[in-house]
Every structure is written in structure tokens, then in C-alpha cells.
Amino acid sequence: MSDSCGAPIGGVALAGVDAGNQAVIQGTVTRDGQPLSSAYARLLNDDGEFAGEVVTGDEGTFRFFAADGEWKVRVLASKGFTDEFTVQAQTGTVIDLQVSA
């Protein structure tokens, strides 16, 4: 399922994920301590070029599988919220971002 921009709906369960042979970048978007659905999480490469996008589901969660290296995660939400996080993805690790919108 997707919304009007074509981004798949997020809402993945984050607990207990095993990165195994992948680099995982995931997170939860909240507002006033509650999960925020319909926020956008964008994955950008180290040059700032678009690599992927998901929309958070009812749990406010998102997840990307990325190649090793530096990435940026840009989160956009209602009420004009935008924030960007630089992360270093590495095979076998899970990066877990907590975003308060």
C-alpha cells in the first residue's frame, strides 16, 4: 500500500530485529510522547541524493536497509517539522533513531 506520493507505508515492528549480514537504519517518530503516523522518513546518500522514502504507520516507525557508509535520514512531519540525522551504517549493526517531532 502507498499514499499519494507513492511512498510505502512504514509501521514496521522494530523490536528484536537482527541485522545479520545487513546494515539497518530504523527509528520511531513521536510527538508529545505518542507515535506519529504519516510522517516521512527519507534516506539520502552521503552526497544528499535521494535513495528511498517511507511513511510511518500507526506505530510511528520506519526502517531502511543500506550499504555500509555514511547516510542521512531526513524526517518530515506535520506542522512544518523537518530534522536530519547523519548516520554511519555498518553491516551487522542496527542504528535506531528516536525522533521527537
CATH architecture, domain 23-100: Sandwich (2.60)
Q: Give the residue extent of every domain in the chain.
A: 23-100
Please say whether the beta carbons of 67 and 51 come within 8 A.
no
CB 56 within 8 A of CB 36: yes
- For 39-70, the pLDDT digits (tens) are 999 999 999 999 999 999 999 999 999 999 99
- Cα 5 to Cα 1, 8, 11, 16, 55: the distances in Å are 11, 9, 17, 30, 10
Residue 84 amino acid letter:
E
| pTM to 2 decimal places | 0.82
The pLDDT value given to residue 47? 93
User: Residue 54: helix, strand or coil by DSSP?
Assistant: strand
